[in-house]
Structure 1
């Protein structure tokens, strides 16, 4: 069985890779992130941070629990994103979320990572037949499942 620390590190690694893929899609492929995409980036990075703190801080269950909260929050955000895509004519567009999101210090210091420039309804480009929000949903489900399994098993 995989050790708890190794699993937490693997989850953190996956989350960082997912954000790196999002940056590739943004800066190389020209897909601008919308506010909901940026919130998902924050949540993937929060999961990674919680898992790393849990792995190296000696409190793996706390790290896994906090990471699980991030994954469930990500499912909520990506659910909203998929709902917007399923209802043409709706938009998260330029709204209070985008304005607030772009004024957060992390967005002003790292705009290449956290600035929301796109529209949620534009996320229709596909990768292997699925839209980017659909891929995010799959990954949030997998991450939540892994964290639930980690929390459910006995400490090693």
Structure 2
């Protein structure tokens, strides 16, 4: 592989696929997204956009794109980590609070409410997927993406 462009495209596609899976869980399985879930969706989409934009730019820009992608992934990991903590402490909730109200007023939430409207509670219990909760899976994916992006930013072009 001469550049990191295929890595950027792959990460972008997987990130969008994860948002698609979240929409499946929401609309088919009835798992309503909480404010932290919606922020994680924004972070996956931001990561995908960064990856696609920098993959389309000249070869020298891919390292910068991978660096920005790593920052987006680490930001998403922070949100997912907080969500995992909230789920582990049921007395804490981000339910109907200013965060939800603010998120639901964003133009994206008004234009695409089926993707970006927060209707659920962060402490809601849904069935685990392969033994892990949705926020735990998000955290794993964000950390994996961060490691891949850091590797792509630091590797030498051949």
Deviation, 1:37, is 0.3
Q: Which residue of 2 aligns with 1:15?
A: 15
Structure 1: where are the runs of 5+ without partners? none
Equivalent residues in 2 for 1:86-101, closer than 5 Å: 86-101=88-103
Kindly indicate whether residue 102 of structure 2 is the aligned counterpart of residue 80 of structure 1.
no
Deviation, 1:3, is 3.7
The number of residue pairs the alignment matches comes to 156
Deviation, 1:112, is 0.4
Structure 2: where are the runs of 5+ without partners? none
Contact 2:3 2:62 in 1 (8 A): no
Post-superposition Cα deviations, 1:21-56, rounded to whole Å, max 9, x if no partner, equal 000000000000000000000000000000011100
Deviation, 1:124, is 4.0
Contact 2:70 2:146 in 1 (8 A): yes
Contact 1:43 1:73 in 2 (8 A): yes
Deviation, 1:12, is 0.3
Q: SS at 1:89's partner residue?
A: coil
Q: Which residue of 1 aligns with 2:131?
A: 129
Q: TM-score, normalised by structure 1?
A: 0.96
Extract structure 1 runs of 4+ deviating beyond 2 A.
none
Q: CA RMSD in A?
A: 1.2
Provide the C-alpha distance between the structure 2 equivalents of 1:3 and 1:57, rounded to a whole number of angstroms.
Answer: 12
Q: SS at 1:92's partner residue?
A: coil
Contact 1:124 1:131 in 2 (8 A): yes
Q: Which residue of 1 aligns with 2:35?
A: 35
Bigger relative contact order (CA 8 A; separation at least 6): 2
Contact 2:64 2:153 in 1 (8 A): no
Deviation, 1:85, is 0.7
Provide the C-alpha distance between the structure 1 equivalents of 2:99 and 2:2, rounded to a whole number of angstroms.
Answer: 40
Provide the C-alpha distance between the structure 1 equivalents of 2:65 and 2:126, rounded to a whole number of angstroms.
Answer: 34
Contact 2:19 2:41 in 1 (8 A): yes
